[in-house]
């Protein structure tokens, strides 16, 4: 039996780690209103994920549910699963190395995702912060962040992302939804947080550079 790439988690540990990601994004001002969604994988079949509604920056155990990946993607979605939940679950299904996912709304991610939708990607080149992305060891060269058009049918959008992932330039640990926000992930909650913060900072730099152009 293959050992999963993500660290083993108990259900309470996954819930606690999910809360930590959500509160971090809240402290950064990245989850206005009831926006955002955060999850941590428990095992190959289940993930802890923030429930629909509620201030994600103030979430506690009552605001986190345990979702069965297959049941929610292939059957009836459980009532408290957020509309964005299928995007998390599809990533977990596609890649067993993913152990945590953060979806947030940094201003730069929302603005630039609209501006670069036609290109289908944002390219970062020459920034030191690129080295915060796992697998990148130098600022020389470039990395990419894909951009997708928004879709209220998130199961359909998740499948579009799933198909596109096959041809992405690696390493890549996130994507943007135009006019919406960013998804970033990692092997565990620490790495998901690192990638979320790194991409948000890189997007800030690109937004500022474009403003001055």
58-93: per-residue pLDDT in tens?
A: 999 999 999 999 999 999 889 999 999 999 999 999
Domain that holds residue 42: 11-212
Residue 119 included in any domain: yes
Element (H, E) at 12: helix 11-27
Residue 54 included in any domain: yes
- Measured CA to CA, the distance from residue 106 to residue 150 in angstroms comes to 16
Residue 169 included in any domain: yes
Question: Over the Cα atoms of the chain, what is R_g?
Answer: 16
Residue 4: the pLDDT is 58
Residue 123 included in any domain: yes
Number of domains in the chain: 1
- Measured CA to CA, the distance from residue 86 to residue 197 in angstroms comes to 23
User: Does 5 score more than 90 pLDDT?
Assistant: no
Q: How would residue 121 be classed by pLDDT, with cut points 50, 70 and 90?
A: very high
Tell me the CATH number at 125: 3.40.225.10
Classify residue 81 by its DSSP letter.
B
Q: In the structure encoding, which two tokens stand for residue 205, read together?
A: 């730099």
Q: How are beta strands 37-41 and 100-104 bridged, if at all?
A: antiparallel
Residue 1 included in any domain: no
Residue 2 included in any domain: no
**CA 115 from chain center: how many Å?**
20
pLDDT tens figures, 14-34: 999 999 999 999 999 999 999
């Amino acid at each position: 039996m293959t050992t999963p790439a993500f660290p083993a988690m108990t259900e309470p540990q996954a819930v606690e780690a999910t809360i930590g990601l959500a509160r971090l994004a809240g402290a950064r001002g990245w989850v206005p209103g009831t926006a955002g969604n955060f999850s941590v994988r428990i095992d190959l079949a289940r993930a802890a994920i923030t429930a629909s509604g509620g201030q994600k920056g103030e979430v506690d155990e009552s605001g986190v549910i345990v979702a069965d990946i297959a049941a929610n993607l292939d059957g009836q979605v459980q009532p408290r699963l957020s509309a964005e939940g299928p995007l998390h679950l599809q990533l977990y299904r596609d890649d067993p190395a993913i152990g945590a996912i953060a979806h947030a709304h940094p201003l730069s991610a929302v603005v630039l995702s609209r501006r670069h939708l036609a290109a289908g990607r944002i390219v970062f080149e020459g920034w030191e912060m690129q080295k915060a992305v796992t697998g990148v060891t130098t600022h020389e060269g470039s990395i990419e962040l894909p951009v997708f058009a928004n879709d209220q049918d998130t199961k359909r959008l998740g499948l579009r992302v799933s198909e596109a992932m096959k041809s992405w330039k690696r390493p890549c640990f996130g994507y943007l939804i135009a006019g919406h926000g960013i998804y970033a992930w990692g092997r565990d909650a620490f790495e998901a947080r690192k990638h979320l913060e790194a991409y948000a900072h890189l997007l800030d730099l690109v937004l500022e550079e474009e403003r001055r152009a």
